[in-house]
Structure 1
């Protein structure tokens, strides 16, 4: 009986013992032509056994890298991709930079920063003013959802100035509700908020007026 302790070490256990044995057999072939042919077959077999890898970017490159790792970095074949070295794989990834939004502003999200950058690039005019108001409206919604409390407009104005480094300023606006787009119709063409309430009131007045005339 052959025990696992006497078998070749599985460098990548997720591929199983069969593929590891095929890799070992590939290394033992005498000619490079034979090794190349078998290496291609092994990579195809690895892809069939692990179809989920096909959803990843450059999955073929990854399979060839895994083949080389299972060969313990010792496989003389012609690969369509450069083989990684042991040093490269052991190298620690570079430290990722933290996003700009931290502390009091983290709940606004990265999309707000992108919109702010876009607004800064626009020339002064109606388009820029409308975009700034859209940004402020979305900031207010995000603030209310995250903090579960109503926020005063002047707080949003101050945050907008801070995030834009004083390049976007709504301090001349009394409130967001008085902006031209705050109560605009939504994407489905339905009125929202204040407009809908006003329509309901008008309908009730007309109904009462017609009823009194009868």
Structure 2
């Protein structure tokens, strides 16, 4: 009974243990690295470090001989030793400052358009059209932009929209450079534009259901008539 009590008293619980630096490698490997860091002879320490690297590589055998992966293993070895390991590494030794360095903030485009249902590409297309020289090509491009704006508008608002509304938005987004309010241009019919949107949505749905349809057909073909019980 006393032996059992003594054995239980020597058990270690994770709540009392030190937190693992890289938990994926387990506590046993962490203890081995701590022992390697305490070896006084540098030559023996280098041999032990290479052995630890080979053990770490066995956990990912398909990447063990890849040069970039070897670099990663050596970096992880120094990190798991809390940068106390003094060995000769074939790669630059990382530092604690570089590891704790925060990445720079990405510069996302801070665009907050008034009419978000048109998207940012419409504004870019309008800016390009403004820079073009007057002529048939520019007029055709402006008409394409206006029709696309109408289609985008209808994709969010299923009701019909007057061409004058699109022309006003185009005038506002172009800062007064494109004015179709006094022109005789007419955009495509709302009903036809809605048909285009429905066709595109049906194509996407058909693509997602294509595999399931083919599987069901394949199952029907694979039925063996011998297995059908006759009454």
Q: Structure 2 length normalisation: TM-score?
A: 0.49
* 8 A Cα contact 2:34 2:81, kept in partner: no
The equivalent residue for 1:148 is 158
Query: Structure 1 residues 160-169 or 16-25, which shifts more?
Result: 16-25
2:130 is aligned with 1:120: yes
* 8 A Cα contact 1:43 1:63, kept in partner: no
Pick the aligned partner of 2:148 from 113, 138, 149.
138
* 8 A Cα contact 2:36 2:48, kept in partner: yes
- RMSD across aligned positions (CA): 4.7
Q: CA deviation at 1:143?
A: 1.0
Looking at structure 2, the residues matched to 126 and 19 of structure 1 have their Cα atoms a distance apart, in angstroms, of 76
User: In terms of Rg, which structure is larger?
Assistant: 2
Relative to structure 1, the CA distance from residue 157 to residue 19 in structure 2 (aligned partners, 3 Å threshold; closer, same or farther) is farther
Count of aligned residue pairs for this structure pair = 170
Looking at structure 2, the residues matched to 130 and 91 of structure 1 have their Cα atoms a distance apart, in angstroms, of 49
Relative to structure 1, the CA distance from residue 25 to residue 123 in structure 2 (aligned partners, 3 Å threshold; closer, same or farther) is farther
The equivalent residue for 1:24 is 33
Looking at structure 1, the residues matched to 179 and 53 of structure 2 have their Cα atoms a distance apart, in angstroms, of 61
CA deviations over 1:51-109 (Å, ceiling 9, x no partner): xxxxxxxx97x9579736555466664546x847558746486385564243x411111
Looking at structure 2, the residues matched to 47 and 83 of structure 1 have their Cα atoms a distance apart, in angstroms, of 22
Relative to structure 1, the CA distance from residue 39 to residue 16 in structure 2 (aligned partners, 3 Å threshold; closer, same or farther) is closer
Looking at structure 2, the residues matched to 2 and 71 of structure 1 have their Cα atoms a distance apart, in angstroms, of 21
The equivalent residue for 1:10 is 20
The equivalent residue for 1:53 is none
Q: CA deviation at 1:5?
A: 3.6
Name structure 2 gaps, 5 residues minimum.
Answer: 1-10, 197-231
Looking at structure 2, the residues matched to 93 and 63 of structure 1 have their Cα atoms a distance apart, in angstroms, of 22
* 8 A Cα contact 1:19 1:46, kept in partner: no
The equivalent residue for 1:205 is none
Looking at structure 2, the residues matched to 112 and 133 of structure 1 have their Cα atoms a distance apart, in angstroms, of 13
The equivalent residue for 2:180 is 170
CA deviations over 1:109-133 (Å, ceiling 9, x no partner): 1222332233234333333322222
* 8 A Cα contact 2:30 2:80, kept in partner: no
* 8 A Cα contact 2:25 2:56, kept in partner: no
2:124 is aligned with 1:107: no
* 8 A Cα contact 2:126 2:174, kept in partner: yes
Looking at structure 1, the residues matched to 145 and 128 of structure 2 have their Cα atoms a distance apart, in angstroms, of 10
